[in-house]
Each structure stands twice: as structure tokens, then as C-alpha cells.
Structure 1
Amino acid sequence: MIDPLNYGQRQWHLILSNYDEGMRARVRELVLAHAHELAEDFYSQMMQQPAAQEFLAHEVVHQRLHASMVRWLDQVFSLQTPEAIPDAVARQFEVGKVHARINLPINLVSAGARLHKQRLLEYITQIWHTPAEWLHAALYVQEVMDVSIELMSLAYVTNADRKSRAAEAYRLHTLSLNLAVERERQRAAVLDWSHELMFALHSGESVLKGLSRSEFGLWFHHQAITVFDGAAEIKQIEQVLLYIDGELLPTMRYQSELLIEKMAKLQQEVKAIIYFMTTMFDRYIELEQGRDTLTRLLDRRFLPAVMNREVQLAKRCNGVFSVVLFDIDHFKAINDNHGHEGGDLVLQQVANLIASSVRSSDFVFRYGGEELLVVLVEVAAEQALAIAETIRLKLINNPLQLAGEKTVSVTMSGGVATFDGHPDYEHLINRADKALYQAKAMNRNLCVVAD
């Protein structure tokens, strides 16, 4: 099997040996003189493509992209000695990993490289006036750009494949949960919504809550579609949801002559959803996989699958979601005073408290050590902070059990961040992490909102 790093280094060694050092230095001067123009031209040209706008329109992306593009041009065309090659190759791989993480289509990267080559060729022909003079420089520029994009693509494909495997692993993992319990929970959620609707009708409420906005609807859109990907029942349930919320509910009014007929039709549709859902669950009910062995929360390796889907949903529907990064305060002291067994018991109970305090449509991860990450779907900053504070206060008011009937009072800090349109989910988690750091710096035992 070919080692991509060694392959990339060999290609760049060939470039240095095939092209004159003086000519390479002149090209570098030319590139640096026009680097800012190249970066701005790249952005303006790419923004004319609808497929690229999704990834480039965010203000933070624009600000960082311009500086990153200038640095990248400087780096690849400043590579003049063999000693600098390993760092240059590693940089191309890192860029490719970022592209894979945010699902940037690889054809857009190639299109951007083509724009740069076109502009650089124009600049070259202005300095070297005859083909015999500028051809060698043009070939050098082409090879540098092509090798850079090739290495980015290698990293992109490798990481995209890893993401695909992680997404499938997450799907299989979720199927391993107690699906019999979840099936009954969601059946009850559908019936609860039906009862709430009847009460709302008889109370004369003019605005009726759609099934898509219910506990079941949120679970279906944010978890079931991923877990049961490919199941025929998913499409069938989607169609029933659209019919109930889009056609049936808008026509239902208390004291309407057709209310009894509409209610009967609604009950039929509710039964259809329960039937499709039960069939779907039963087909997967036997599969078994594990969670985080200590906390039974989602393992961190499933984070890309969940976060990328939530980013895509939010961008497609102009929606919102938030994350809360919790950290148990003074956890080292807990381990020191009560041993690692006591620390494990604390972590397990905190994990259970958090998981039982959020909705079935939300996600709770063991993020690392004593850090726990909560993904709150369709929740904005203010509500996310309120949820985080509720959980924090609940922990304060519930001493945790240790061995030998001992108890210990534990606090935790939280950092809250809400999706702001940036396509890279790590940008969101980093903001939550910074907010958590603020909370710790402010003497802990509180939750802070990012920005």
C-alpha cells in the first residue's frame, strides 16, 4: 500500500529538481505580489456558484478564507528546499481533512485551483513575453497547484471514507439500544399528541400544534431518519406527517360540521403512523451493539455523524440547534478523595441525570474524561441556557451515591453555543468549549453562553 505522505514528498522533490531555483524564486515573488488579488478573485468567482455559496457565505469563513488562502499561496510557492517539504505536505493533508469535515464537494476545490492557474498564467505572460520564456514558469505553477490539490484530495477521500464508516457505525449503534422500550415510548408520544390535540380543539384554540413539532415529530426528524435510513416506512411516515400537518389540521375547527369526520380521519392516520413505526422497529429489534461502557451515553466517534446531519438540517431549513458542553467541577479531587471507583460512580450518575433531563430527540455524548456534550435540536441560545441551568441546579439538589451508603455533593460547569451558520461543526463545539472555560474561570458551578 502506498504511503500518501511519502508519495507527496517524492512528488515535491521532483518539482524542486525539475525547475530552476531562479525561476522558482521569480514565480514566488509574482505570486506574493498578487496573493490578495488571487484570494479575493477566488472568493468572488466561487460565490457566483450556488453550490459554493453554502460553504463560503458565512462571514467568519470569508474572513478566515482570505487570510488562509494568502498563507497557502505563500507556503506552496515558497517551498524552495527539501527540508521544507514534510511541513508543506502535512499542510495539504490538513486542508483536505477540513474540506472532508465540512462536506465541501471536491469538484469545488478543483474549480478554485483552476481559477488560480488561469490568473497566474495571465500574470506570467505579462512578465515573460514569449512562449519560450514563460512556458517553463507556467508548467511549474501547474505542477505545484496540481500536486497540492492531489494531496488534498487524498486526505479528503481518506477522511470522507472514515466519516462514512463512522456514520454507519452510529446507525448500527443506535439500533443496538433498547428498541422495544423506545418503540413504546414513541407510540405513547404519538397518542399523547392526539389527546392534546382533542383537548385543544375543545378548548377553542385557534392554533393547533402539528405532529411534526411534537415530541414524536422531533425524534422522527432528528433521529429515526438516520437510524432507520433506507427503511420504506420512513417515507410512509413522512407522507402521513405532511398530510396531517399540511392538509388535515388546517381544516379542523371546534363545532365544525365536519369535525367528527375529520377526527375519525385523524385517528386513522395516527394508527397508520403507529403501524409503520412498529413494523420498522420490529425489523431491527434483534440487533445488538454497545455504548460507552461506563456512562452508556453516545460514544464520541458518533459525533461527526450527528453533528454533520444537524448542520445540514439547520442550513437547509434555516433552523437552529445548540450544544452544551458540561464538565464536572473538581473531578480530580473526587477521584483523589473517593478513588477511581467513586469517580466512576459520580460520572455514571451525572450522565444519567443529564440523559433523563433532555428529550428523546436530543443527543448526549461522553465527550472525553468528565466532559459530557449535549446536542439540543431546534433549541436557540436562551432556551439552551435555561435547559443547561435546570440540569446544573438539579445536580446541586441531588447528592450522588457512593459505596457504603456514602453521598457526595457535586457541581458542574457548562458552556452553551448555538449554531450560527458556520458549516464546520467543530467551530460550534469550540465556541462551547471557550464558554465552558469562561465558566471555570468565573469560579465554576455556572453555565455561560458563547459570544
Structure 2
Amino acid sequence: MPPTEPATKPIENYTLQAWEEIYSDTPPPVRDKVAKVVKAAAAVIADDFYQALFLDDTARTYLEHDKVNERLHSSMQHWLEQLFAVNCKDSFLAMSARQIQVGAVHARIKLPPYLMGVGVRFIRSSIRKHLQEASLTAEDFLIAQLYVSELLNLSDGLMMAAYVRDVQNNARSDEAYRSVAMRHDVSLERERSRASLSEWMTNFLFRTRLSGDTFKLDKLADSEFGIWFKHKAMVLFEDIYDTKIIMEVIEQIDDVLVPQFKAESLDPAEINLLLEELKSKLNFISYLLSDLFERLSSLNQGRDAITGLYSRQHLGAVLAREQQQHINSGHSFGVILVKIDNFEFAATDEESRSSLIRQLSTLIVEVARVGDHVFRYGNTEFLLLAVETHKKSTEEIASTLRVRILAQPFLLRANTPIQLTASIGISQFDGHPDYMTLLRGAENAVVKSAVAGGNQITRAWKTNS
């Protein structure tokens, strides 16, 4: 393919001509033989493929999820059979669309590119071994190998082109999300961080000074402040070296200072010395945070006209970031999708709709914890991403939202109060590498809640899990 062809031309058109050349250059008996051999060996090739990938530590993290393993195994068999059964333009274009879709998924789950190359080489080698066992002449065997290599390279090229395109789009989305985050209400984030840090210190002093129950001292990293810092500050202040320093100070407090408070037979003088050191480190954190917020304030350009919430277009960047953080920490997180019931009947004019949306967003932000993320998901939908939660706590947050919305007197023009209800769908991160499964689960659940009459919560997971 000439590299000078227009970049805007659909990628399928680039590869169609290449496939037609490969197809016409390969004798029909050889094509038919390859298709039969691959179809007969597809299950074995898929077995060997995933067993080999499981030996790679990086690949294993993408395959350990049961649903992924089961689904990919059958998909691999189907893909192999279909790739070598293509015999017309329409079937090739359908196959091309499938390769582009697979490449997009690889980009979304951040699959390392080298694993795609490893996979193609393994499949090529495996098919060659099965062809050696087929009744082919030496000449036909060489032609068959070339045919297999050309088709696999063509398929890999389609997937890689889609992968690169979507990685670039995701990178732009990441930067756009950070830009919106920086335009968020900086003063609110500053006050919430100060309050949560002060609350941790107050509780710590109470345990050490008054109750004497030092064995129940909480780590700073697990406090409201710690969760805020990991899930909000690391986005707001991304790539600023001071965030790494703050993280190191938090680790020093949790791993060095807190254990010393739990030692038996500490006299008052020793406790005072430890408290002075703790106070010094907390003051240092406060100083660095103040400086970070001052820098951020200079970039603050206001809020969204209606809610000030993050928009749906930034959700992918946040989910990908949170997914990786929770995989690394071993925690889970929940997605709570809230859809207002019969909103079109509650508000008949634009001013009333905007007013209700603002009141709803305020209520949801009040329910959210300092480390959680809240998005406007659609015209009448909001999404709350609850960090570091398990299923029960996700349900509790969703229940609080449902009850608060039901009990809240929402005001229309002239302060006319009305009552609203919400259909809520919840899903829980279970290690699946593609965050879209999490969103689809919440979307399907919220639809079930609405169809059942609204004002209820539906789980995306089975209740007996």
C-alpha cells in the first residue's frame, strides 16, 4: 500500500486490496486445505495459546478473570475459523470490522502492544505445526505458510491501527478530564481535604490521649483524607513531584509512626515526642497541599453552567485510572447509576429542568464521600463512582441516595415543591479488565429498575454471589 494515500480513507479500504491480492495469489485447493486444517485444530490452538500466555506475568493479569477466560477461548476458536474461511468482499469487510473492534478493546484495557505480537507469532507457529501433519506437497506447504502469514499480518495490522487510534483518543480524553478537574471548584476541594485531614488528627489524638485504645488507630492512607488524596489529588496534581513527597510522608506516618504508638508501656514523655513528630509531618503535608492548590487556582477557569460535575466524556479516563489503582491495591469499587423517574412530567420548561438538575447534583455530591467521583451521565442520569467499596457498602450508598431523593422537597419556580423518585442500577468492579462491562451492568440494572416502576435499586450481580 502506498504510504502517500490519504490518512482519512477508512482503514478497511487499505486492507481490502491487500486481501484480494493474497486471495487471488493463493490456489483455491491450498486455501481450502488451510481452512479445513485450522477449523479442525482451532480448539487445540486456542488451548495452547492461552496456556502459553498464562506463563507471562503481564498477560496473566488480563486472563485470570473467569468470564474473560471462558469468553476469549470460544472467541479465539471462532476468529480462527472465520479468518481463514473468508471468501468474498463482504465477509472480509465483516472480518475487518471485527479486527478493528478487537483492537479498540485492547486499547481500552491498556493491553501492552508486545502481547499482540507474541500472540500472532504463536498462532502462526501453531498453524504451521498442524499444516505439517496435513497431506500437502512441499510446494503447497510453502504456499500455505505464506498464505497464513499474510492473513495473520493483515489481521494484526488492522488491530494495531485501531489500537493506536484509540490509545491516542484515550490519551486526549485523559488530558481533557484533567483539564476539567482543574476547572472544578478548587476552594471546595481544598476545604474538604483540610477538614478530612483535621478529622483524622482529632480522632488520632482522642485514641492516644483520652481513650488509650491505641490498638485501633487508623492509618492515614485508609482515612477519608487518604482516599481523597489517592483518588482525587493524584488526578488534580498529576505529574507534580510534590504529590510523590506527600505520598511518602503518608507512608512514613502509617508504617513508622503509627506502629510506635501501639507499643506497650509508653510513658507520657514518649507519647508527646511521637505526637510532636506526627504534628510536624502533618503540617508538612498541609504546607505542600496549600502550595499545590495555589498553583491549581491559577489555572481555575470556572465551572460547568448547570451542575459543575464532570461530563460523561471524561468517565472512561477516570474508570481506567481507578481500575488500575484498585487492581494494584486489591480493593474494589462500585458504580451507581441514578436515573430520575418521569422527569419529563416533573419539569415542563427549561428553567425548571435546569433548577431540578442543579438540586439533584447538589444532593448527590452531598451523599458522595470525598474520594468519590460524580458525573452527569445523561439528561436525567447521574453516575457516582464509589471508590474502595465492597458490594454491601455500594448498596448502602445507593440506598442512601434513593431515600434522600425521595425525601427531598425539590423546588420549581415560585418555590413550588415537588417530589421525585429515582431508578438506580449498581455494579461492582470484580477484576474484569474492560471497564465497559461495569458500565453496561449498571445501565442494564437501571433499566430494570425503571421498567419495574422506579424508586428502587437493581444490582448487576447475582444476589447469591
Q: CA deviation at 1:146?
A: 0.6
Aligned twin of 2:427: 417
Contact 2:394 2:426 in 1 (8 A): yes
Q: Deviations over 1:152-176 (max 9, x none)?
A: 0000000001101111111121111
Distance 1:433 1:40 in 2: 33
Distance 1:296 1:8 in 2: 45
1:294-373 paired onto structure 2 within 5 Å: 294-335=306-347, 338-373=348-383
Aligned twin of 2:291: 279
The one-letter amino acid paired with 2:433 is P
Aligned twin of 2:235: 226
Q: Residue 94 in 1 paired to residue 104 in 2? A: no
Aligned twin of 2:3: none
Between 438-447 and 363-372, the greater mean CA deviation after superposition: 438-447
Aligned twin of 2:211: 203
Call closer, same or farther: CA 1:285–1:123 in 2, change over 3 Å: same
Q: Residue 181 in 1 paired to residue 205 in 2? A: no
Between 92-101 and 71-80, the greater mean CA deviation after superposition: 71-80
Aligned twin of 2:388: 378
Distance 1:439 1:291 in 2: 32
Contact 2:192 2:370 in 1 (8 A): no
Between 143-152 and 304-313, the greater mean CA deviation after superposition: 304-313
Distance 1:45 1:55 in 2: 13
The one-letter amino acid paired with 1:210 is K
Distance 1:289 1:412 in 2: 32
Q: Residue 165 in 1 paired to residue 177 in 2? A: no
Q: CA deviation at 1:292?
A: 4.8
Distance 1:82 1:417 in 2: 41
Q: CA deviation at 1:88?
A: 1.5
What number of residue pairs does the alignment pair up?
449
Q: CA deviation at 1:17?
A: 2.2
Contact 1:419 1:428 in 2 (8 A): yes
Contact 1:385 1:448 in 2 (8 A): no
Contact 2:186 2:300 in 1 (8 A): no
Contact 1:417 1:429 in 2 (8 A): yes
Distance 2:301 2:441 in 1: 32
Q: Secondary structure of 2:349's partner?
A: helix
Call closer, same or farther: CA 1:122–1:415 in 2, change over 3 Å: same
CA RMSD of aligned residues (A): 1.6
The one-letter amino acid paired with 1:352 is T
1:256-295 paired onto structure 2 within 5 Å: 256-289=268-301, 292-295=304-307
Contact 1:291 1:299 in 2 (8 A): no
Call closer, same or farther: CA 1:319–1:145 in 2, change over 3 Å: same
Q: CA deviation at 1:413?
A: 1.2
Q: CA deviation at 1:245?
A: 0.7
Call closer, same or farther: CA 1:292–1:151 in 2, change over 3 Å: farther
Contact 1:173 1:289 in 2 (8 A): no
Contact 2:335 2:383 in 1 (8 A): yes
1:25-36 paired onto structure 2 within 5 Å: 25-36=32-43
Q: CA deviation at 1:122?
A: 0.9
Q: Deviations over 1:408-434 (max 9, x none)?
A: 211001111111110111111112222
Q: CA deviation at 1:74?
A: 2.0
Q: Residue 244 in 1 paired to residue 253 in 2? A: yes
Q: Secondary structure of 2:374's partner?
A: strand
Q: CA deviation at 1:226?
A: 2.0
Q: CA deviation at 1:256?
A: 4.6
Distance 2:352 2:359 in 1: 11
Call closer, same or farther: CA 1:283–1:290 in 2, change over 3 Å: closer
Q: Residue 407 in 1 paired to residue 407 in 2? A: no
Distance 2:452 2:268 in 1: 58
Distance 1:67 1:389 in 2: 38
Q: CA deviation at 1:438?
A: 2.5
Between 130-139 and 145-154, the greater mean CA deviation after superposition: 130-139
Between 57-66 and 16-25, the greater mean CA deviation after superposition: 16-25
Contact 1:362 1:377 in 2 (8 A): yes
Aligned twin of 2:83: 76
Which structure 1 residue ranges, 5 or more long, are not aligned? none
The one-letter amino acid paired with 2:218 is K
Distance 1:161 1:291 in 2: 26
Q: CA deviation at 1:187?
A: 2.0
Between 144-153 and 338-347, the greater mean CA deviation after superposition: 338-347
Aligned twin of 2:444: 434
Q: Secondary structure of 1:78's partner?
A: coil
Call closer, same or farther: CA 1:389–1:157 in 2, change over 3 Å: same
The one-letter amino acid paired with 2:15 is G
The one-letter amino acid paired with 1:445 is N
The one-letter amino acid paired with 1:12 is W
The one-letter amino acid paired with 1:393 is V
Aligned twin of 1:109: 116
Q: Deviations over 1:38-70 (max 9, x none)?
A: 111111110111010000010000111011111
Between 69-78 and 270-279, the greater mean CA deviation after superposition: 69-78
Q: Secondary structure of 2:55's partner?
A: coil
Q: Secondary structure of 2:133's partner?
A: helix
Q: CA deviation at 1:209?
A: 1.0
Contact 2:184 2:308 in 1 (8 A): no
Q: CA deviation at 1:435?
A: 2.1
Distance 1:111 1:398 in 2: 57
Q: CA deviation at 1:85?
A: 2.3
The one-letter amino acid paired with 1:303 is L
Q: Deviations over 1:111-144 (max 9, x none)?
A: 1111111111111122244431200011000011
Which structure 2 residue ranges, 5 or more long, are not aligned? 1-5
